[in-house]
Amino acid sequence: MKEKDPFECNTCNTVEVGTLIRDDDTWVTVEIRGDKAVSAQENFNKIEQRALSVGSGNCKIQSETIQENGITVIKAMLDFDCTAEKLIFEMSLR
């Protein structure tokens, strides 16, 4: 009869969710670049609408538009109500 290995893992490749997802991890940073201000703003508007459509719809959004070497760059910070909303938003972008 085969002896049981004391180090055998019955649940290999599993991790406690709390070790990967923190309760206070609600921020997403987004940087959108475009050759034209209009295209960058259009892309940002799509992301903004998607963020506001997730969960409670209370996502707080801060953004700034700058020019870098003739390219329009919109930098935004999105703050969701909870980590789950942030994760749903991030997965929807894929």
Please tell me the predicted confidence (pLDDT) of residue 47: 95
19 pLDDT exceeds 90?
A: no
Condensed to tens digits (0 to 9), the pLDDT of residues 43-67 reads 999 999 999 999 888 999 999 999 9
Count of residues in the chain: 94
pLDDT-derived band at 14, boundaries 50, 70, 90:
low
What is the C-alpha separation between 92 and 94, in angstroms, rounded?
Answer: 6
What is the C-alpha separation between 73 and 61, in angstroms, rounded?
Answer: 16
